[in-house]
Structure 1
Amino acid sequence: MSRLIRFERTGGPEVLQWVDCDVAPPAPGEAQVRHCAVGLNYIDVYHRSGLYPVPLPSGLGLEASGVVEAVGDGVVDLRPGDRVAYAGGALGAYAERRNIVADRLVRLPDALSFEQGAAMMLQGLTAQYLLRRTYRVQPGDAILIHAAAGGVGLLVCQWAKALGATVIGTVGSDEKAALAQLYGCDHPIVYTRERVSSRVRELTGGEGVAVVYDSIGKDTFLDSLACLRPMGMMVSFGNASGPVESFDPGLLGKMGSLFLTRPSLFAYSARREDLLAMAEELFTVVLSGQVKLSINQQFPLRDAAVAHRELEARRTTGSTVLIP
């Protein structure tokens, strides 16, 4: 018998239930993983609330680390006892153990803890594709990252700084500004006090930034466009404040022939060879010390609802892990 978090209707954190379940032997192409740590991500809120609809009842969570307990037929590159981590696949990471398609798993280096593995996969792979593939940051670029003190934000700040960029980031308080600065943000902007686009223009001598990485959505979208230099790239990769409202694409032309993309990790890592290459680059920058993980909150998995409340109230910084 195992236990997991399930929800039967969409809504607030109170819909999350801690229930018993049976875990069948892994099917062909699957591996059974005993989770040691589970990652908390804002996309979990989108699934739970119904912003991203899923068939109900449903499990929750896309990221975890643990130990392979069994493998199904046809799985040749994993064996029981392997330390693994993953981000993506079917929902269900909020569980003590589960079966998952084996080609979504990557081996976790011995030098990384399970907590690090759970905290780094979804957010770290997101940082990887944002900085190295969606817009390939170059030395001398000025960039803007929203929610700079969050899990993805702290990783992007460090990694972009290591690449030679000038990093501007938005935060909600002086405490978060200090944290972002500690992790490589050159110019934290407290958005509750300053208009972000005006401050960005000031910091860049009126030019604007090469790229904006925006996970906030509705509340920041138009002002993010106003931060860009001509032919700059607007990367909208989340909706923490709600989905972006419809707008006339002609606005992009009027504001300087801007580029707009709405990427997802699951598209960038759909091919196994891409997933492995992305994970290898992520593990390399973490093990080198260029990017340090900031795991600032841990909760028992059974208390996932509490963790969701803290996340949505913006009382968390860095990464949060849930311990089965």
Structure 2
Amino acid sequence: MARTVIIEEHGGADALALVDRPVGEPGQGEVRIAHKACGLNFIDVYQRSGLYPLQMPAALGMEASGVIEAVGEGVKHLSVGDRAAYASMPPGAYCEARVMPAAQVCKLPDEISFEQGAAMMLKGLTVQYLFHRTTPLKAGDTVLFHAAAGGVGLIACQWARSEGIRLIGTAGTDEKCALALAHGADACINYRTEDWAARVQELTDGAGVDAVMDAVGADTFEGSLDSLKPLGMMISFGNASGPVPPFNIGLLGPKGSLKITRPTLFTHIADHQACQDMAAMLFDKVQSGAVEIKISQRFALEDVAEAHRALEARKTTGQTILTL
């Protein structure tokens, strides 16, 4: 049996319940992993609330680290006793142990702690696809990154710095802006006190940015389009302020023949080898010191509702984990 966080209906943080569930044995292509720590991400809130509907009852959580306890037939890249970490479908990472598909579970280098592994996989792999698999970016390019002091944002700031890409961030307080700057952002705009879209134009001498990376959604969408240079790429990869409403695609032409995409991590990591290669690049960034994974908040598994409330209230910065 393993303590597991579930919901029996979509709703607020009060819908989260901690129950004992049987774990079982892995089948073909599966592993059983005993968790050491679990990651907290905005997608967990979307699934809990029903923005991304789940079949009930549903276990939550997309990211964790731990030790492989058992390996099913056909699994070649993992062995019993391996340290491992993952960001993966299906949900169910908020637990002490689980049986799950092995393809997206990655062997965790000894130099990276379990807590770092639990905090970095979903966010770090997201940054990897944003910078390397979504649109061509090179040293000297400029990107606008919303929520630059969040979990994905602080990794993105460091990643951009390591590759000579200029990152202009936005955040909701001066303290969060300072944090983004300390992690490598070239500039960071407090969107509560400044007209951030106008400021982006000032910072780029009216040219605009090569790409916008936007997980905020409804509140920033229009200004993000106006921040792009001609032929720029709008990457809308989240909905923290709510989903982007329908819009007239014809607007992209007069705004500069703009491009737009709405990617998800799970499309990019669906292929086993692609996932492992992306993770290898992420691990290299961390092991080289180019990207530092700092745990800013820790909540016990039984305090998961409190963790969700803090995340939704934007009271967190950087990486947050659930401890076991």
Question: TM (normalized to structure 1)?
Answer: 0.99
Q: Are the counterparts in 1 of residues 104 and 269 from structure 2 also a CA contact under 8 Å?
A: no
Matches within 5 A, 1:186-201: 186-201=186-201
Aligned to 1:32: 32
Is the 1:151–1:294 contact (alpha carbons within 8 Å) kept by the matching residues of 2?
A: no
Q: Distance in 1 between matches of 2:160 and 2:179?
A: 16
Cα shift at 1:81: 0.7
Is the counterpart of residue 97 in structure 1 residue 87 in structure 2?
Answer: no
Aligned to 2:133, the other structure's residue is in SS state helix
Give 1:166 deviation, angstroms: 1.5
1:78 maps to a residue whose letter is L
SS at match of 1:134: coil
Name the counterpart of 2:176: 176
Correspondence list, 1:129-168, <5 A: 129-168=129-168
Q: Does 1:253 align with 2:253?
A: yes
Partner of 1:111: 111
- What amino acid is the match of 2:76? V
1:126 aligns with 2:120: no
Structure 1 residue 270: Cα displacement = 0.9
1:132 maps to a residue whose letter is H
Contact 1:286–1:293 (Cα < 8 Å) also in 2 = yes
Q: 1:212–1:234: 8 Å Cα contact kept in structure 2?
A: yes
Task: Find the aligned partners of 1:188 and 1:87 in 2 and give their Cα distance.
Answer: 29
For residues 213-253 of structure 1, what are the alpha-carbon distances to aligned partners after superposition, in whole Å with 9 as ceiling and x for unaligned? 00000010000000000010000000000000001001111
| Distance in 2 (alpha carbons) for counterparts of 1:22 and 1:296 | 32
Q: Provide the residue aligned with 1:85 in structure 2.
A: 85
What aligned pairs does 1:47-62 form with structure 2 within 5 A after superposition? 47-62=47-62
Name which of structure 1's ranges 131-140 and 276-285 shifts more when overlaid on structure 2.
Answer: 131-140
Q: How far did residue 111 of structure 1 move?
A: 0.3
Provide the C-alpha distance between the structure 2 equivalents of 1:95 and 1:322, rounded to a whole number of angstroms: 10
Task: Check conservation: 1:137, 1:160, Cα contact below 8 A.
Answer: no
- Structure-to-structure mapping, 1:221-300, within 5 angstroms: 221-300=221-300
TM-score, normalised on structure 2? Answer: 0.99
* Number of the residue aligned with 2:185: 185
Kindly provide the CA deviation profile for residues 22-79 of structure 1, in whole angstroms up to 9, marking residues without a partner as x: 1111122211000001000000000000000110110001100000111122323322
Q: How far did residue 136 of structure 1 move?
A: 3.0
In structure 2, the gaps of 5 or more residues are: none
Could you tell me whether the CA contact under 8 Å between 1:9 and 1:56 is conserved in 2?
A: yes
Give, as a single letter, the amino acid of the residue that structure 2 aligns with 1:179: L
- Per the alignment, residue 316 of structure 2 pairs with 316
Shift, 1:141, TM fit: 0.8
- 1:201 maps to a residue whose letter is Q
One-letter code aligned to 2:238: G
3-state SS of paired residue (1:278): helix
Provide the rounded CA distance (Å) in 1 between the counterparts of 2:307 and 2:249: 38
CA–CA distance in structure 2, aligned partners of residues 134 and 46 of structure 1:
23
Deviation for aligned residue 1:162:
1.3
Deviation at 1:149, TM superposition (A): 0.1
**Alpha carbons 2:5, 2:19 under 8 Å: kept:** yes
CA distance in 1, matches of 2:190, 2:86: 34
CA RMSD of aligned residues (A): 0.8
Partners of 2:294 and 2:150 lie apart in 1 by 9
Tell me which residue corresponds to 1:17: 17
Q: Distance in 2 between matches of 1:74 and 1:165?
A: 41
Shift of 1:212: 0.3
Distance 2:104 2:274 in 1: 11
State the match for 1:203 in structure 2: 203
CA distance in 1, matches of 2:85, 2:69: 13
- Cα offset for 1:94? 0.3
